[in-house]
Structure 1
Amino acid sequence: MRKTSAVLATLSLAVLTLTGCASAPSFAGDVCDRAAASTASVADSVTVEGDLGAAPDVTVYAPVKGDKTSFTDVVTGEGNTLTSTSQGMVLDIAFYGGESGDKLYESEFNGDPSRVHSISYWAERSAGLETVLECATGGSRIVAVLTPEDFGEANVEAFGLAKDENVVAIVDLQDVYLAHAEGASQFNDARGLPSVVRAPDGTPGVIVPDSDAPSEAVTETLIKGDGAKVEKDSTIVTNIMAVGWDDKTVTSSSWGAEPNIGPAAQELVGATVGSQLLVVVPEADGNPATAIVVDVLGIVPVPEQ
């Protein structure tokens, strides 16, 4: 394995394991209106008891019928809003047959906060979950009725369901991480460093100057978030983009992929959740100089013992 500088090694590993007035949350360009998209009568299909995050006691009033996937929030959380299919979140889910009311599948419901995935991850397993999760907020409990098509042909076959059988889903959305950096833009007067622009969804664009890269590592805070502070032993959720200084091309990026989760690099210790940092790593040990933009999206809680 080739040698790299400490910060580049840490940040690159994370990639590979992969201001103004506030605006209303949006998903795929449309302003979120969770209430308008939901169907309150879905809640009449079931009784759900128990605390959020604990395995629920569910009674399904079978048969449950529906010609389209629908949902309602029986508990509306006050956490972050899901505005991207690649945004990090922690959820538990249980599925029940619409004809029998029998439980088909139940996730861990063990309070483990390290099971961070995205809407895309869950939609690959059951396409209808994208509709169910769009614009949902952390801390919500969702009741949904999925059509067999949205539950997934492979799932219908695997669970031995009738081809026209609906499926009831109970989703506990325990936590939602930020989709991108959010906070106050910071003034930096250092010369000869890259500039960073951002798309509406927060995706950065890095403009590398024609001057030589600095001879020592440089870290700048571009956006200062108002969240918790990253400690040296923190496990953090980030988005990262790395751009080569010489060729000015993106060498790695986690944007649009599964959330990055890993230990905080030294250069990120002391940063606050919601911040965006620029880290410039000079050429060293045969590795070219690299500009790395990091969005600090959250700190993964330590599981209770």
Structure 2
Amino acid sequence: MRRSTAAVTSLALAAVVLTGCAGGPSFDGEDCAGAFTGDLTKLATVTGDLGSEPDVTLRTPIHQSTETVEERIVGHGQRLTTGDQIAAVDVVLYNGTSGDKVVATEFDGDLSRLSNIDSWNSQVPAVASALHCASEGSRLVAAFPGTDLGEQGMTGLGVAKDDSVVAVIDVLKVYLPHAEGTEQYNDALGLPTVVRAPDGQPGIIVPDAKAPTDLVVQTLIKGDGEKVTGEEPIRVHYTGVTWDERTVFDTTWGSNPAKFDLTQVIEGFAKGLTGQTVGSQVLLVIPPELGYGDQAQGSIPANSTLVFVVDILGVDPAGTASSTGQ
């Protein structure tokens, strides 16, 4: 998708079904309503603003046999509902036996330092489970047995198996997991058809017809988020197919969303997404002169008409650095 050669991913276009409207938010099928019912106020005093490292005083020693999570500051933004959904979070851990701080992230307001629940699960499983259903703008307080850190985490952080741990987690920004909004009617005559799996992943069916010669932009789902201006990078999931070969040459589904500066992508991609809104799913049919022209790019033949389905998951905050930790 960048002007340089795209990483090529092979993906079979399996049959998928169009999904309808879902109910309330859930994580792995579990309703998010009432997700944070714990009360740790008698064990942990936590003060300070969201996004700044909190002052934490524990009533030690704490003995926790199972994980308890409390939403100390209630967030009202986007929820974390999938393991691969990216978010900016800060975390500090305290030893519940001694009351000493064990480790902390930077708490420097950097919203480009992104992670997801899956990555936390591989490092600090208890933090990952605490984040299930968490909302942007929330501060969570979690208490759990030290063994919930996993063997590697206990060893690396110097936590004994009989210790308990208290975590304070600030959820600063959450990106969408997939397009969310209102489905739009489009005249699809002679154009690709898009179907969606339950997780939102699109499948693209290219018709047995001549490719259009002009740029085609169709909003399939209209999101109600902020508008894409091209001035700040965006985060997207996308799948790209060549019209003639009808094969996928690139996709982000199954991995982390892509970050794009619209000044650094092919012209048709930038034109088609500028002015769209976060939460939207957009179909783009890009003629060769607005794509890669007469130059082959990896598995994309020269003079190819390109078909993209793009889910716009969010816009990076102004002035953020390149993201890490994804």
Does the 8 Å contact 1:121/1:258 carry over to 2?
Answer: no
Distance 1:253 1:222, change over 3 A: same
Name the SS for the 2:224 alignment partner.
coil
| Equivalences for residues 1-305 of structure 1 within 5 A | 8-9=1-2, 23-33=23-33, 35=34, 37-264=35-262, 265-282=270-287, 284=293, 285-286=295-296, 287-288=300-301, 289-303=305-319
| Matched AA of 1:28 | D
Q: Structure 2: how far apart are the matches of 1:88 and 1:104?
A: 25
Partner of 1:4: none
**Distance of 1:117 and 1:11 partners within structure 2:** 26
In structure 2, give the amino acid aligned to 1:25: P
Name the CA distance, whole Å, in 1 between partners of 2:109 and 2:4.
28
Q: Distance in 2 between matches of 1:280 and 1:180?
A: 20
Determine if contact 1:72/1:143 at 8 Å carries over to the other structure.
yes
More moved, 159-168 vs 135-144: 159-168
Structure 1 window deviating more from structure 2 (185-194 vs 168-177): it is 185-194
Helix, strand or coil for the counterpart of 1:202?
coil
Q: CA deviation at 1:245?
A: 2.9
Please, what TM-score do these two structures have when normalized by structure 1?
0.87
Deviations 1:16-43 (A, max 9, x none): 9xx976621121123222x2x4352333
* Unaligned segments of structure 2, at least 5 residues: 10-18, 263-269, 322-326
Displacement of 1:214: 3.0
For the structure 1 residues 258 and 304, does the alpha-carbon distance in structure 2 shift closer, same or farther, using more than 3 Å as the test? closer
Cα distance in 2, alignment partners of residues 257 and 129 from structure 1 = 21
Superposed CA RMSD in Å reads 2.5
- Matches of 2:93 and 2:137, distance apart in 1: 19
Distance of 1:245 and 1:146 partners within structure 2: 53
Q: Structure 2 CA distance, aligned partners of 1:107 and 1:15?
A: 34
Segment of structure 1 superposing worse, 197-206 or 44-53: 197-206
Work out the CA distance in 2 between the residues paired with 1:13 and 1:110. 33
CA contact (8 A) 2:112 2:320 kept: no
Distance 1:150 1:252, change over 3 A: farther
Question: What SS is found at the alignment partner of 2:308?
Answer: strand
Q: Is the 8 A contact 1:42 1:143 kept in 2?
A: yes
The one-letter code sitting in structure 1 at the alignment partner of 2:313 is L
CA contact (8 A) 2:140 2:170 kept: yes
| Separation in 2, partners of 1:81, 1:38 | 13
AA of the residue aligned to 1:26: S
Deviations along 1:115-154, whole A, 9 cap, x unmatched? Answer: 2221112222111223211111111100011333321211
Amino acid at match of 2:253: W
Question: What SS is found at the alignment partner of 1:231?
Answer: coil
Q: How many residues align?
A: 294
